[in-house]
Structures are given as C-alpha cells and as structure tokens.
Structure 1
C-alpha cells in the first residue's frame, strides 16, 4: 500500500468520482496521469508509507535524495486543483505542470508533474524543483516515481 492508512491526515481528500477528476483537469488544463488517477480511487491523497526518492544529484534536503511527506489528491481544501496554481505563483515554481507533493521544507522545494516535454495531454515525467527553480527529472512517470519511493530510514532519516 502506498499510503500510511494508520495515520489520520488532513491531506486526505473526499472520496473521488469521475466528475471530480474531470473538474480538476479542467482547472489545471492538463490530463492527469492514469497511475495518479487510479491511486486517487484507492485514497484521495495522504501521507506516504515510503517518503524518500533517490536522486543522482544533491538537493536542498540531502546529497542523494528528496523527501516527500504526502501527496495531494483532487477536490477538497488540499486538492491539486486548488493548491497547485497558488503554490506555483507563491513560490515562483516554473510553469511546467502541477505541484502534487508536500516536502518537509514547506514550499522551498517540491515535486511536480512536468508536462514540458509531452504537452498537456501527454504522460508527464516527475521533476524535482529546488530553490534554484530549475526542473530536474527524477522519474519518467508517476508510476515510476511511486515504485521508486523508499523508506527514509535507508538514508538515516526518521521520517518514516
């Protein structure tokens, strides 16, 4: 299971239906990745079991990984359709797609669905955005991203 179901979380949105997905895509003007949408039907966002993703480059968080506390779903107070546009504006993230991950830094860095290579109807890669606001690809798809998450204990972190 991707989500930590043992913890109550403000990041879990209301149960998802097709209309919520359609509205979110309309607001964001992109087609959300199928693997992300499929996950939302299991649980609409929340705290992750494995919260670290290895990187081949240093991040503001660590020399070899990024930490993601939770992912946003759609709808509700913390849906990507509500939060992502304001996060892009507030934090000056590049306009390449959709912010979907919550990092421990509280906005100084993030992860995004990156549509810059595939267009708004394509299958986006996942990019890490650090304080320099340069997108760095960390996974070729959301599915690859999910399968690449590891326990932060692997890095000596106590985050999960």
Structure 2
C-alpha cells in the first residue's frame, strides 16, 4: 500500500501485540463500503490519515501512548495518555461504533457531541481523545483534542490533525 500520509513514519513497534488488543480493539481491515457505513452512522467524514492508519491495522493498543501538553489536565501536568485507538467498525467493543465506542461515550457518559471519540484513555472513561469537528464542519479536517470529563468536559487542544497527533505520541518513560 502506497502511503499518502505517514510517508516517513516508522511503524516498527508502534502497535502493542497483546491479547486484549486483539480481543477488544482490532477489527478486520475496512473496505470502502464499511468506511461509508461508519461515516453515515457517525455523521462525519473520517480523516484520510485515520483511514490510512486503520488500513495498516484497524485499531489497537499502542506502545507509544503519551502526548505532550503544555496545559495541565486531570491525568497529568505535562501529558495525556491513551490506552488504544478505536478501529473503523462496530464488532469489537472498542471500535468507533462498538459497544464502548464514540456514541456510547456521548449517550452514556454525557460527552459533547462535537465529533468522533477516537482514543480511550487509562482513566476508564474519565477522559477521551476526540476528533473535534466543531470548527471545520462534518466534512472538514478535525483537530484532535483531549476531553476531560473530570473537569466539566474541558477540551485541551492536542494537534491540528490526526496524523500530527499520531506523530506526536511518545513513550510513557519520557514522562516519568
């Protein structure tokens, strides 16, 4: 597969290979029909960089799971952490349309309906990573923000787009 995004990105050891990831996150590779159905269900056009990454592996836990921030959040003063990236699908519980996916977080936890919740965090629902379409519209290129349920669903800007977010993920040891 020729990459449009992530051209010089080293995916060696990017994904965590563990049974939890296989069981609850990793969906079959998405085809155009599945992508269109998921976009229709969610009401947003998925970013090209997200689709491309999901065609490499459709969801899962990651080894580089922290993103540096300059503004303190309930998780930490200098970073946010993710557990995994939700895949394009609805079969696995941690897929964007899965049992614990984006719509669940809005309906059951009261998260703002400003886009697609794409990454869960180690807090077990108390913070999430959002593809935020509130500035770009349903077909635009969403920003990536951290949404902090513990702080009245405060949004903290992380990256201008999904590719920039993925490129910014760092090892947890860098923040200890």
Relative to the length of structure 2, the TM-score reads 0.85
Shift of 1:93: 1.0
| Cα distance in 1 between the residues matched to 2:157 and 2:110 | 18
| Cα distance in 2 between the residues matched to 1:114 and 1:81 | 17
Any idea what SS the aligned residue of 2:107 has?
helix
**Would you say the 8 A contact 1:94–1:135 is kept in 2?**
no
Shift of 1:81: 2.3
Aligned twin of 2:53: 39
Supply the RMSD in Å over aligned alpha carbons. 1.1
Aligned twin of 2:156: 136
Q: Deviations over 1:101-148 (max 9, x none)?
A: 110000001110000000000000001101220222111000000000
| Cα distance in 2 between the residues matched to 1:43 and 1:54 | 24
Aligned twin of 1:151: 171
Which structure 1 residue ranges, 4+ long, deviate > 4 Å from structure 2? none
| Cα distance in 1 between the residues matched to 2:42 and 2:165 | 21
Aligned twin of 1:126: 144
Question: Residue 69 of structure 1 is aligned with which of 83, 107, 112?
Answer: 83
Relative to the length of structure 1, the TM-score reads 0.93
Any idea what SS the aligned residue of 2:97 has?
helix
Q: Deviations over 1:56-100 (max 9, x none)?
A: 111111111000010110112232023211111211111110111
Aligned twin of 1:112: 130
Shift of 1:51: 0.2
Shift of 1:50: 0.3
| Cα distance in 2 between the residues matched to 1:121 and 1:146 | 20
Aligned twin of 1:92: 110
Structure 2 unaligned segments of length 5 or more: list them.
1-10
